Amino acid sequence: MKNGDAINVNKRYRITCPYCGKTQYACLSIAHTWGIADGGRGICLECKKVMTLVFDYEAEAMTAKAKET
Q: Which of these, 15, 17, 16, 18, lies nearest to 28 by C-alpha position?
A: 15
pLDDT digits (tens, 9 = 90+) for 14-64: 999 999 999 999 999 999 989 999 999 999 999 999 999 999 999 999 999
Q: 2 pLDDT exceeds 70? A: no
Q: Which of these, 45, 42, 46, 63, lies nearest to 54 by C-alpha position?
A: 63
Handedness of CA 49, 15, 13, 1 (dihedral sign): positive
Q: What is the pTM of this model?
A: 0.84
Q: 1 pLDDT exceeds 60? A: no
Amino acid at 50: V
